[in-house]
């Protein structure tokens, strides 16, 4: 087909197009945008933003005209003018209307140039949303900090973070009401003391955003019982509680799914023991979308309500094990206080716990010997708290006996936790500031939660008070 290109005109994003004004308008409305990778299949030089190629707006027209017809013809799949993929036949190849190629290339190029310019101008890029919660049962310990919280602090500028105290989860087990309230504030104070910045991340208490419980009930009604019966952690905890086990403990994976899906989270920091719960969240999201969002005739009009969350795996080496068993994770639920180092433990308590921790009868100190899990665990703690390399650490401690190594390790841990503990003491005494942080965090979280709930209830066919006006 003969091209209908006329004089160059300015597109919506300021890129020079070889298409006529009418052609450009039709192209923008009817064609899918060429991704950089597909553009590179027939014009590699055009897949790079103009700013990086050193091409000005005036020079882009010439660059587009230099695209090789042979490269265009070599691409097996290209979009037709109607926006469908069509295989190219015939000796000439190319699109049915070559002007479309130039028009779309210019538009895509301008979008990429705009992204580059935004970075240069210091404007924030769109961040992926991350959510994570900690139960207010027991004290946060060294494993929580090194394995999770420290990673959250490092990632605050990279992600949009929602951190909350999951007090609704805490009541699935027997608890003290007075202790629950105190522990909730303590967890928030420790979050802040460890470096979570409320100006970068939302910090709140789960029950302060009522949509968590409401969404949990709605998801209960779309989740098959068979899915829940397969959950491993319920079976393990139910054995310990016996006949006193609650329905809440059975149901808490759905509350966890509600926590994740409520904020349209893209990433969820999880350990291997929580992967099954994340997979359940993904299954529930897909089932809901299939039931209520698939057809355009439904109230959701074909728009999905929930996105599929992905796992954000903690970096290798941050897994801290029990001081009494090198094969089990350090845990708040362990009945033995000597199994963990709490972030609130005094220096003397830390020294005593490390002095009494389980070791072995081997000579020397070494990493990754499968017969010496406790040795590897203590070295991992040493490395995580000191920031030194394995080689540097082993050079110092490899020939030590346990009586020599443990005091050295204890001082490294005490020194590392000292600034966190000092800041924590300041925060627990400043209830006004803690309340302000929690209030602002809950308000910010509720904005997102309310929108998700509106979509969810609309998709399921609920009426709202707004319908009564």
Give CA–CA dist 323/390, Å, rounded: 20
237 is catalytic: yes
The verdict on whether 332 is a catalytic residue reads: yes
Burial 271-296 (b: 16+ CB within 10 A, else e): eeeeeebbebbbebbebbbeebbeee
> Does 329 participate in catalysis according to the annotation?
yes
User: How many C-beta neighbours within 10 Å does residue 81 have?
Assistant: 17
For residues 127 and 161, what is the distance between their CA atoms, to the nearest angstrom?
9
Given the residues 332, 352, 358, 457, the one annotated as active site: 332
- Annotated catalytic residue: which of 111, 115, 128, 237? 237
Catalytic residue among 111, 114, 329, 457: 329
- Catalytic residue positions, numbered: 237, 329, 332
């Amino acid at each position: 087909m003969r091209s209908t290109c006329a004089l160059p005109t300015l597109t919506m994003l300021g890129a020079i197009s070889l298409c006529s004004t009418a052609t450009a308008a039709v192209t923008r409305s009817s064609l899918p945008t060429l991704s950089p990778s597909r553009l590179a299949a027939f014009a590699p030089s055009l897949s790079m933003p103009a700013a990086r190629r050193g091409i000005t707006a005036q020079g882009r027209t010439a660059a587009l005209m230099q695209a090789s017809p042979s490269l265009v013809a070599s691409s097996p799949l290209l979009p037709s003018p109607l926006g469908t993929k069509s295989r190219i036949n015939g000796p000439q190849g190319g699109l049915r209307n070559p002007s479309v190629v130039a028009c779309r290339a210019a538009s895509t190029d301008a979008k990429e140039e705009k992204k580059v310019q935004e970075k240069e101008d210091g404007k924030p890029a769109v961040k992926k949303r991350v959510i994570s919660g900690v139960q207010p049962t027991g004290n946060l310990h060294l494993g929580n900090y090194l394995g999770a919280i420290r990673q959250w602090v490092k990632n605050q500028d990279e992600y949009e973070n929602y951190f909350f105290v999951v007090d609704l989860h805490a009541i699935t087990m027997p608890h003290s009401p007075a202790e629950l309230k105190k522990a909730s504030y303590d967890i928030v104070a420790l979050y802040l003391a460890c470096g979570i910045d409320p100006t970068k991340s939302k910090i709140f208490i789960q029950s302060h955003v009522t949509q968590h419980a409401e969404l949990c009930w709605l998801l209960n009604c779309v989740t098959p019982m068979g899915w829940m019966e397969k959950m491993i952690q319920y079976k393990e905890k139910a054995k310990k509680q016996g006949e006193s086990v609650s329905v809440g403990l059975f149901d808490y994976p759905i509350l966890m799914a509600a926590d994740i899906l409520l904020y349209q989270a893209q990433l969820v920091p999880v350990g291997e023991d929580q992967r099954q719960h994340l997979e359940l969240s993904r299954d529930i999201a897909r089932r809901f979308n299939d039931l209520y969002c698939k057809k355009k005739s439904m109230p959701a009009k074909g728009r999905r309500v929930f996105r599929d969350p992905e796992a954000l795996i903690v970096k290798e080496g941050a897994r801290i094990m029990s001081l009494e068993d090198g094969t089990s994770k350090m845990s708040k639920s362990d009945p033995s206080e000597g199994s963990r180092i709490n972030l609130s433990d005094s220096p003397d308590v830390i020294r005593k716990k490390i002095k009494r921790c389980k070791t072995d009868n081997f000579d020397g100190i070494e990493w990754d010997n499968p017969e010496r899990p406790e040795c590897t665990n203590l070295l991992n703690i040493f490395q995580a708290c000191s920031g030194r390399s394995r080689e540097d650490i082993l050079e110092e401690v490899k020939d030590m006996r346990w009586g020599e190594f443990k005091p050295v390790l204890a001082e490294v841990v005490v020194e590392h936790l000292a600034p966190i503990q000092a800041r924590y003491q300041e925060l627990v005494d400043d209830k006004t500031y803690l309340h302000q942080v929690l209030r602002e965090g809950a308000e910010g979280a509720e904005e997102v939660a309310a929108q998700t709930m509106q979509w969810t209830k609309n998709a399921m066919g609920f009426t709202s008070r707004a319908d009564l006006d």
